[in-house]
């Protein structure tokens, strides 16, 4: 393809992306294809000779698009939203065109320098302490692929620091703490590193938030058994219900156990820190005072296209001492002084995409106020849903709503014979089965301790208040049909306590 | 930004990318900015209110582009090339527009299915054994971020397999093997995982290739000392000189030590396997018979924009048993049977970009023959450089060329007083200093054991035979000027042996 052919194909791509957004609302949210659908449509080897790009671009529309689930659809309420802004797309487009693996400063100064700057912009947007700014020369932030990578890196850094301070410790004795509600990133980090992961219990009464006393009890117990607690991954906004671990209490415990590091996973909810009115709820003051690291995924609800997971650390040496393979005699004065950052020593890979460009585009185009407006809109839309559920005789919230996330189920009926928890769960599974058989709405299920529930997460760019009402109408209708059609399974008909 | 504003900004981006490629040849290769240049030009916080996109796009040209080093420039011969094709750019553009984190099949069927298919296309293109195809249902391939990630994942898989078979083994005793010429990815994987890494010696006589006897000697020695060898990272095409480890001998040793797994890092050179005439040199038959995993970075010399590191494994359970955090009772029959792949269990992250699209675009647009033509062109261009060096009275190759990579230096002069190796190295450092002070050409330095040398890696899309001649002319002129201007440092003037 020569430059003029690219211009033509590029214009066409832009036009087709415009068409896609104009028509998205009328498309099904979920792809309805069967496993293996594509293998039947595509040859099993690359063609011997090159093909016309026009045909390839047409095949994308014909063969690929029908197999996509539209995460940017106005009726996508599953998992968490995925950011997709025009500014983000354009940032990635310019970035692709210069194909620049800025692994260190000299590999392409602009890539590193823009990342250093926009991560400070983002830190200020969220109200993080200046200790986390790159400009501090001590702490700093960078872009990682996902929150799992950020958590893995924080775990490597914490393990490495612990080992430096305790050269006698056996790796097998090191314990990473999460809660039963922590995202799988905690268990995955432990699995990757071959370390133990202990998931601490949380209760419905505490809104699934980790309490200091629980942490303290388990630390004491494990230390007594010869274990080596080295890291807690605390969460601001869990995946299941948006729970926020009790940071003031955790901070107090961390003070008593100074070898315990704390990583804060605010992958989803972290963006609400852009709005000052939510900072107290998220315990920002405590995080600013004691967290060793914090991760926020702007590629979820934060308007910057995937991948855009930000990781800030209070001390950049926490990362570089764990990840830098440059022999000490090769370190430059500039690098050590923080004048120049070589980001290859802040992450797992060597090369890295030029991802700061899309941050810059998004934050400039929206401005702080535009970003806040977007976050507040998501929370307001969720409030619409919350009120509809609260006024409904069929549905109930399982736990208080968290920002733009609600967790609900069909409420146990007060009249008639009381159902066991297993029976209510079974009813709700049946209800969710009905919802997920539709392709005009997409939600996901979860378990909160032993209660089966359904999640509704707001945040797609295109979602309006009317879409929320529409979603509720569908959900309510399916709940009523579920109640009409569900038959209590024989095995659950007898006994048990709710 | 609304849809029509995006159309306008998108057209403009396409036009500016065209301008960029039209004018690239006349731009400096290397950015000539000072550390901190950008902080002086950009405010230290995001704007309060949104800005016009037109200004943002203009600022990209004015502020960012001058700070970029142009990896796609025809005179970029540093590190290894970075792929940048129009097909790759378009693939990423369409992918950005649907923002789809296809972590498992249901999250977006097309993302997984296309990756499953194009990784088989790529495996066939390279002549890999059908054992590595996804279609085999046993082995398979997927896209990772970089070769460092691929190596880290292979190391996690090997450690996990070793631990399952040897539950008594202490992690501190596990040893990963590389050579002194292996890419930093080996040392980094060991550092991340807290394991020992032993770098085996290689010699100039063996063209810096790992020999079976060296491996065997160290394995015996370490096993005797109670160590647990569990993985060798062997290389096809090292970064410094394109060395190829001796796979037939390694295969023999691996047979004798069945607990030793072997990962093949063919990050740069792997793409030459697309040309049947180079398969024997790369020991493809051996790799096909015994390697547990192999990594090829299509984002280097392989026409697919970053990130596009492919990782194939002989047994997908090797990955999933090490990385799958789904409790066993939640695994689906389809997933276990391989009907459906959940790629989240093949890598470190959860979410993953829709990267197979650019593979599909590139492989269809080039076809097998176009891909081969491109690889052969790089090798031919390097041959032009090789012949010029061989006929030069000033320069010499330090080791035989490898595909599109040459390693050279100013040759020790036969006339006059013989110089010590230190003095020759000093002369060549001075020579390289002269080359790197220019911004019309970009090369990198390296050490081959104790010999300082300069690398020239061919492979940028725009490089022509004339550019190679031009590069040689510059290099020769700088070598002559270096010889004229270099003064032997006092400390090196006396004695020592070459």
Provide the shortest C-alpha distance from residue A198 to chain B (in Å).
14
Q: Do B10 and A90 touch (CB under 8 A)?
A: yes
Across the interface, of A94, A120, A365, the residue whose CB is closest to B13 is: A94
Tell me which of B120, B231, B350 to substitute to probe the interface with A (most A C-beta atoms closer than 10 Å).
B350
Q: Do A110 and B66 touch (CB under 8 A)?
A: yes
Asked whether the predicted pLDDT for residue B371 surpasses 80, the reply is yes
Query: Is A266 part of a structural domain of the chain?
Result: yes
Cβ contacts (< 8 Å) between B21 and chain A: which residues? 3, 6
A138 and A270 fall within a common domain: yes
Asked whether the predicted pLDDT for residue B330 surpasses 60, the reply is no
Cβ contacts (< 8 Å) between A231 and chain B: which residues? none
Asked whether the predicted pLDDT for residue B38 surpasses 90, the reply is yes
A382 and A350 fall within a common domain: no
A186 and A333 fall within a common domain: yes
Q: Do A339 and B35 touch (CB under 8 A)?
A: yes
A221 and A313 fall within a common domain: yes
The ipTM assigned to this model is: 0.96
Name the B residues in 287-316 with CB < 8 Å from any A CB. 299, 305-307
Write down the mean pLDDT value for chain A. 94
Across the interface, of B21, B33, B370, the residue whose CB is closest to A3 is: B21
Query: Read out DSSP for B103-139?
Result: SSGGG-HHHHHHHHHHHHHHHHHTT--GGGSGGGSSS
pLDDT recorded at residue B492:
78
Give this prediction's pTM.
Answer: 0.96
Cβ contacts (< 8 Å) between B443 and chain A: which residues? none
Token code pair at residue A416:
């008639």
Query: Is A86 part of a structural domain of the chain?
Result: no
Q: What is the CATH number of the domain that holds A11?
A: 1.20.1340.10
Tell me which of B3, B30, B46 to substitute to probe the interface with A (most A C-beta atoms closer than 10 Å).
B46
Query: Is B469 part of a structural domain of the chain?
Result: yes
B55 and B145 fall within a common domain: no
Between chain A and chain B, the number of residue pairs with CB atoms below 8 A apart is: 417
Count structural domains, chain B. 3
Q: How many residues in chain A?
A: 498
Tell me which of A36, A99, A358, A459 to substitute to probe the interface with B (most B C-beta atoms closer than 10 Å).
A99
Q: What is the mean pLDDT of residues A340-365?
A: 94
**Chain A within 8 Å of B361 (Cβ-Cβ)?**
yes
The alpha carbon of B228 is separated from its chain's Cα centroid by a whole number of angstroms, namely 29
Provide the shortest C-alpha distance from residue B50 to chain A (in Å).
4
pLDDT recorded at residue B205:
97
The per-residue pLDDT for range A459-495, each reduced to its tens digit, is 999 999 999 999 999 999 999 999 999 988 887 765 5
B232 and B324 fall within a common domain: yes
Q: What is the CATH number of the domain that holds B396?
A: 3.90.1150.170
Strand ranges in B52-187 using DSSP code E only, listed in sequence order = 140-144, 174-179
The per-residue pLDDT for range B55-69, each reduced to its tens digit, is 999 999 999 999 999
Q: What is the mean pLDDT of residues A14-42?
A: 96
B262 and B289 fall within a common domain: yes
Provide the shortest C-alpha distance from residue B200 to chain A (in Å).
17
The per-residue pLDDT for range A52-98, each reduced to its tens digit, is 999 999 999 999 999 999 999 999 999 999 999 999 999 999 999 99
Name the B residues in 320-359 with CB < 8 Å from any A CB. 322-323, 325, 334, 339-340, 348-351, 353, 357
DSSP letter (8 states) at residue A304 = S
What band does A497 get if pLDDT is binned at 50, 70 and 90?
very low
Give bridge partners of residue B313 from the DSSP assignment: B140, B293
Asked whether the predicted pLDDT for residue B288 surpasses 60, the reply is yes
Name the B residues in 104-133 with CB < 8 Å from any A CB. 105-111, 113-114, 116-117, 120-122, 124-125
Neighbours of A329 (CB within 10 A): 5
Which domain does B377 fall in, by range? 363-493
What band does B496 get if pLDDT is binned at 50, 70 and 90?
very low
Cβ contacts (< 8 Å) between A10 and chain B: which residues? 10, 14, 17-18, 86, 89-90, 93
The alpha carbon of B403 is separated from its chain's Cα centroid by a whole number of angstroms, namely 14
Asked whether the predicted pLDDT for residue B246 surpasses 70, the reply is yes
**Chain B within 8 Å of A44 (Cβ-Cβ)?**
yes
Query: Read out DSSP for B460-483?
Result: -TT--HHHHHHHHHHHHHHHHHHH
pLDDT recorded at residue B229:
98
Q: What is the CATH number of the domain that holds A475?
A: 3.90.1150.10
Closest residue in chain A to residue B93, using alpha carbons only: A93
Asked whether the predicted pLDDT for residue B94 surpasses 60, the reply is yes
Cβ contacts (< 8 Å) between B276 and chain A: which residues? none
The per-residue pLDDT for range B146-191, each reduced to its tens digit, is 999 999 999 999 999 999 999 999 999 999 999 999 999 999 999 9
Query: Is B86 part of a structural domain of the chain?
Result: no
Query: Is B79 part of a structural domain of the chain?
Result: no
Tell me which of A100, A110, A159 to substitute to probe the interface with B (most B C-beta atoms closer than 10 Å).
A110
Positive or negative: CA dihedral B218, B224, B227, B232: positive
What band does B338 get if pLDDT is binned at 50, 70 and 90?
low
Asked whether the predicted pLDDT for residue A9 surpasses 90, the reply is yes
Residue found under tokens 């001998």: B249
Share of chain B above pLDDT 70, in %: 96
Number of H helices, E strands in chain B: 16, 11
User: What's the number of CA atoms in the CB half-sphere (13 Å) around residue A98?
Assistant: 32
Across the interface, of A42, A100, A145, the residue whose CB is closest to B68 is: A100
Across the interface, of B18, B97, B159, the residue whose CB is closest to A20 is: B97
Name the B residues in 133-152 with CB < 8 Å from any A CB. 135, 145-149, 152
Angle between helices B147-165 and B316-323 (to 10 degrees): 80
Query: Is A306 part of a structural domain of the chain?
Result: yes
Query: Read out DSSP for B320-383?
Result: HHHH--S-GGG--HHHHHTSS--GGGGSS-S-----HHHHHHHHHHHHHHHHHHHHHHHHHHHH
Token code pair at residue B185:
């990815």
Query: Is B77 part of a structural domain of the chain?
Result: no
Closest residue in chain A to residue B151, using alpha carbons only: A349
**Chain A within 8 Å of B481 (Cβ-Cβ)?**
no
A180 and A317 fall within a common domain: yes
Find the distance separating the first CA and the last CA of chain B, reported in whole Å. 66
**Chain B within 8 Å of A184 (Cβ-Cβ)?**
yes
The per-residue pLDDT for range B339-358, each reduced to its tens digit, is 689 999 999 999 999 999 99
A35 and A133 fall within a common domain: no
Name the B residues in 151-170 with CB < 8 Å from any A CB. 152, 156, 159-160, 163, 170
The per-residue pLDDT for range A156-176, each reduced to its tens digit, is 999 999 999 999 999 999 999
B13 and B59 fall within a common domain: yes
pLDDT recorded at residue A340:
82
Token code pair at residue A214:
């629980």
Query: Is A85 part of a structural domain of the chain?
Result: no
What band does A329 get if pLDDT is binned at 50, 70 and 90?
very low
Name the A residues in 407-466 with CB < 8 Å from any B CB. none
| Residue that is last in its domain, among A68, A88, A120 | A68
Provide the shortest C-alpha distance from residue A363 to chain B (in Å).
6
Provide the shortest C-alpha distance from residue B174 to chain A (in Å).
12
Cβ contacts (< 8 Å) between A361 and chain B: which residues? 53, 56
Q: What is the CATH number of the domain that holds A105?
A: 3.40.640.10
Across the interface, of A39, A70, A99, the residue whose CB is closest to B306 is: A99
Query: Read out DSSP for A188-257?
Result: HHHHHHT-EEEEE---TTTTTPPPHHHHHHHHHHHHHTT-EEEEEEEEBS-TTT--B--HHHHHHHHHHS
A436 and A331 fall within a common domain: no
- What is the distance between the alpha carbons of residues A266 and A126, in angstroms, rounded to a whole number? 11
Query: Read out DSSP for B392-460?
Result: -SSEEESS--BTTEEEEEEPPPSSSSPPPHHHHHHHHHHHHHHHHT-SS-B-EEEEETTEEEEEEE---
Number of H helices, E strands in chain A: 16, 11
Q: Nearest-5° angle of CA B253, CA B141, CA B290?
A: 15
B123 and B213 fall within a common domain: yes
Q: Do B367 and A48 touch (CB under 8 A)?
A: yes
**Chain A within 8 Å of B276 (Cβ-Cβ)?**
no
| Residue that is last in its domain, among A68, A89, A113 | A68
């Amino acid at each position: 393809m020569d430059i003029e052919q690219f211009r033509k194909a590029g214009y066409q791509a832009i036009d087709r992306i415009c068409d896609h957004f104009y028509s998205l609302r009328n498309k099904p949210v979920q792809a309805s294809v069967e496993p293996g659908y594509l293998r039947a449509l595509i040859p099993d080897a690359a063609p011997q000779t090159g093909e016309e790009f026009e045909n390839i671009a047409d095949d994308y529309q014909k063969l690929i698009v029908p197999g996509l689930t539209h995460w940017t659809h106005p009726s996508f309420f599953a998992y968490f939203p995925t950011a997709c802004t025009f500014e983000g797309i354009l940032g990635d487009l310019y970035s692709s065109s210069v194909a620049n693996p800025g692994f260190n400063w000299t590999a392409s100064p602009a890539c590193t320098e823009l990342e250093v700057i926009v991560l400070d912009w983002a830190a200020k947007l969220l109200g993080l302490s200046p200790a986390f700014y790159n400009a501090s020369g001590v702490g700093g932030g960078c872009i990682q692929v996902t929150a799992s990578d950020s958590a893995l890196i924080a775990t490597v850094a914490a393990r490495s620091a612990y080992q430096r301070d305790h050269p006698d410790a056996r790796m097998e004795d090191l314990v990473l703490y999460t809660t039963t509600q922590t995202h799988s990133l905690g268990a995955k980090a432990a699995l990757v590193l071959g370390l133990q992961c202990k998931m601490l219990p949380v209760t419905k009464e505490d809104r699934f938030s980790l309490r200091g006393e629980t942490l303290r009890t388990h630390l004491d117990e494990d230390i007594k058994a010869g274990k080596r607690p080295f890291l807690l991954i605390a969460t601001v906004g869990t995946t299941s219900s948006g729970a926020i671990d009790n940071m003031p209490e955790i901070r107090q415990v961390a003070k008593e156990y100074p070898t315990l590091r704390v990583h804060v996973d605010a992958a989803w909810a972290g963006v609400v820190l852009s709005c000052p009115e939510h900072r107290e709820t998220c315990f920002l003051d405590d995080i600013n005072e004691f967290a060793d690291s914090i991760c926020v995924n702007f590629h979820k609800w934060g308007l910057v296209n995937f991948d855009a997971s930000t990781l800030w650390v209070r001390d950049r040496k926490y990362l570089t001492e764990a990840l830098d393979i440059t022999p000490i005699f090769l370190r430059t004065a500039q690098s050590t002084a923080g004048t120049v950052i070589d980001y290859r020593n802040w992450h797992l890979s060597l090369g890295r995409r030029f991802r700061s460009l899309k941050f810059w585009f998004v934050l400039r185009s929206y401005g702080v106020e535009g970003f806040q407006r977007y976050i507040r809109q998501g929370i307001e839309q969720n409030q619409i849903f919350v009120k509809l559920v609260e006024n409904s005789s069929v549905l109930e919230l399982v736990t208080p709503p968290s920002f733009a996330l609600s967790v609900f189920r069909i409420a146990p009926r007060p009249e008639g014979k009381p159902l066991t928890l297993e029976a209510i769960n079974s009813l709700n599974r049946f209800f969710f089965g009905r919802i997920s058989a539709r392709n005009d709405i997409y939600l996901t299920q979860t378990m909160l301790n032993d209660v089966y529930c359904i999640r509704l997460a707001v945040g797609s760019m295109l979602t309006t208040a009317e879409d929320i009402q529409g979603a509720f109408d569908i959900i309510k209708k399916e709940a009523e049909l579920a109640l009409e059609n569900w038959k209590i399974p024989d095995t659950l008909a007898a006994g048990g306590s709710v």
